[in-house]
Chain A
Amino acid sequence: MKKHLPVNLDLPVRSYPNYVYIFGILEGDYEPWLYSNFLQLVHTETGWFDFLVPQFLHEEDLLIRHYSYLPANKTVDNKQSIINMIIEMINNDFYVTGIFNDYYVSFRPHYKQWDFDHFFMINGYDNENRLFNVVSYTKEIVLKEEKISFDDFIIACNNLISPTLELIFYKQNKTFKLEFNINKTKKYIEDFLNSINTTRLKQAGLYGIEALNSYRKFGIDKRFFSLTRIYVIYEHAKLVVNLTEYLINNKYIDDDEKILIENIKRIEKMGELLKFIRIKMDFVKSNLIFSKIIDVLNTLISLEEGHLKLLLEKLKG
């Protein structure tokens, strides 16, 4: 017996796995919904920089969610129970996310040097050949579907650095409507520009423009910009571009003077440039590259701020 659940690997946002795997399973055109909900950024006191992921993403209004938390070092002892539980959940159309130790995963040779707990998503199985279908990140931050044997999977879970084997089972709640919401969009643009958080998800940290500036300062002080976090900034810029196009195309605003279109072309260009230079930074260690990232980042932040102000003015009519 086998079963394979569909996954979309071409995603508009793919910086961090806590929302990426969820986007991967959503059916229908959810991008307009994304524009209303993925505008806010947060830089927490602990140094975490990311989108402020809406609370409902992890609640039962968007997802039907179940879980299994078991002692990781007992995975081998409970091997068949855990495999059968995963298969049972897939048979009921649940995807399975969790963390395993990449050191023990054959298709992740670049982690062969050290133990590393990494996110995965199981979206299928083949009982006859004793294989799971697993989606996970490659080292280039690209999602890819691979196969892992039941045995290797169990060993990779049994050897987690974390004491807990976390398996989260979820599927889309089809009654939840993924729709664009203009009022929410206006509110979140305003929040972003005022650097405040009015959602019910409370995290101690800085928001919006202040979050961007604070991460930029953090990078300059530490003389390091993480690739994944630069991806967050790049993807945020991309979403601002897509949102603007959506608003124009759906006649929420007009852009007769073509100012907004010009703005988003420049934002898009700066976003791409930022990503490109950051990737280059891994190969060319020089002060020049580092200064270039700071320059591009400064320009991008100021472009986004100016553009969102104009967008908000137009939306308020």
Chain B
Amino acid sequence: MKKILFINQNPPIKSISKVAYALSILLEYPSDYLYLINNFIDLKCDINGNNIEFVDKAINFSNHNLFTTYSIKIPTQSIVNIGNDILNLILNLINDGYYVHGIANLIDYYDRSYLIYGYDDDKKILHTINHVKEGFYGKSILTYDNYLNSLKLNDKNSYIGFIRKLNNNTHNVSILDIKGQIQNYAYIHNDSSILQGKNVFKKQIELLSNTKKYEKIEMKPFNILVEHKRLMADRIKYLIYTKGLDQKYLQKYQNIIKKAVYINNSCKMYNNSLNNKQIPLIQNNIQLLLKEEFLILDEIIESYNSKKI
């Protein structure tokens, strides 16, 4: 017996596991991509510049308009004792269309979280998708034994979630909502506990100055930077083809993507060389990117205001 559920192994956001998993399940048909137009426009992080996230309207497994979710949380020791029962439960629920999500100590894997989307009982394997190594989100295979052994290495408690996509969704794109969110991103509107919009990467510039000698830069923010710009370009494309936005903004925004990719590559190069002289260059490029991006977004908002779209 075997069963494999649909999985999108190339979601537009891979840098944040929980978002990547949700999109891997959600983005099945072309119309599902409309979720991205109204979402992931703004960015946020904590006051210290950590935990960068996209601002989205709950594109996650807790959203009961998008997913049906069930879960178990039991002591890890119990998983050891009734591992085969848990495995049978997982296989049965996959047969019913449920994906399986949780945390396990997957040896040699970069990320401890996983999403199981299928199994092959003849070969005693599970099909999973996750961050096998840094920067690589993709499919992998786990044997039943490896999976159960990795659960046994969890801390005190083990959590396993069962998720099924709801198919009754309509995707309404609100043009005014997009405008509001672009304004949120482009203009400063922090509260006391979080930073939002452009300030997220202004804070990253500040943090780069604190990089210690021979210390690597964390790549996650700079992967988010590229993903954010690519999604914004897709949004502009949508506004051009459906709402008559001027084509020139897409050409201009393509340059922003190039700059973001360049910054991302510069960070990778720095991590290889650990040459501190590269840091000011990276900071300067982020500064220029933000300035240029703001000018384009400001013009787009002006197009809204002058009713050109």
Q: Is the CB of B82 within 8 A of A84?
A: yes
Q: Is the CB of A71 within 8 A of B85?
A: no
Q: Is the CB of A81 within 8 A of B85?
A: yes
Given the interface pairs A71-B96, A84-B82, A85-B82, the reply to whether A78 lies near B88 with Cβ below 8 Å is: yes
Within A60-95, the residues touching B (CB, 8 Å) are 66-71, 74, 77-78, 80-82, 84-85, 88-89, 92
**A120 at interface, CB cutoff 8 A:** no
Q: Cβ of B75: which chain A residues have Cβ within 8 Å of it?
A: 66, 92
| The residue from A66, A70, A81 contacting B88, defined by CB atoms under 8 A apart | A81
**A164 at interface, CB cutoff 8 A:** yes
Q: Cβ of B157: which chain A residues have Cβ within 8 Å of it?
A: 66
Within B53-82, the residues touching A (CB, 8 Å) are 70-75, 77-78, 81-82
Distance in angstroms from B126 CB to nearest chain A CB is: 16
**A169 at interface, CB cutoff 8 A:** yes
Distance in angstroms from A317 CB to nearest chain B CB is: 42
Within the assembled complex, what's the spacing in Å between the Cα atoms of A69 and B73? Answer: 9
Which of B73, B89, B157 has the largest number of chain A CB atoms within 10 A?
A: B89
Q: Is the CB of B74 within 8 A of A84?
A: no
**B86 at interface, CB cutoff 8 A:** yes
Within B258-307, the residues touching A (CB, 8 Å) are none
Within the assembled complex, what's the spacing in Å between the Cα atoms of A85 and B75? Answer: 11
**B247 at interface, CB cutoff 8 A:** no
Within A141-176, the residues touching B (CB, 8 Å) are 164, 169
Q: Is the CB of A85 within 8 A of B74?
A: yes
**B92 at interface, CB cutoff 8 A:** yes
Distance in angstroms from B165 CB to nearest chain A CB is: 15
Given the interface pairs A81-B89, A84-B82, A88-B81, the reply to whether A169 lies near B70 with Cβ below 8 Å is: no
Select from chain B the residue with minimum beta-carbon distance to A74. B96
Q: Is the CB of A69 within 8 A of B70?
A: yes
Within the assembled complex, what's the spacing in Å between the Cα atoms of A69 and B78? Answer: 16
Within the assembled complex, what's the spacing in Å between the Cα atoms of A202 and B78? Answer: 35
Q: Is the CB of A169 within 8 A of B82?
A: no
Given the interface pairs A74-B96, A85-B82, A88-B82, the reply to whether A68 lies near B74 with Cβ below 8 Å is: yes
Q: 24 interchain pairs (CB within 8 A)?
A: A66-B72, A66-B73, A66-B74, A66-B157, A67-B71, A67-B72, A67-B73, A69-B70, A70-B70, A70-B162, A71-B70, A74-B96, A77-B92, A78-B88, A81-B85, A81-B86, A81-B89, A84-B82, A88-B74, A88-B78, A89-B74, A92-B77, A92-B78, A169-B74
Q: B residues touching A (Cβ–Cβ < 8 Å)? A: 70-75, 77-78, 81-82, 85-86, 88-89, 92-93, 96, 157, 162
The 7 closest A-B pairs by CB, nearest first: A81-B85, A68-B72, A81-B89, A84-B85, A69-B70, A88-B82, A66-B74
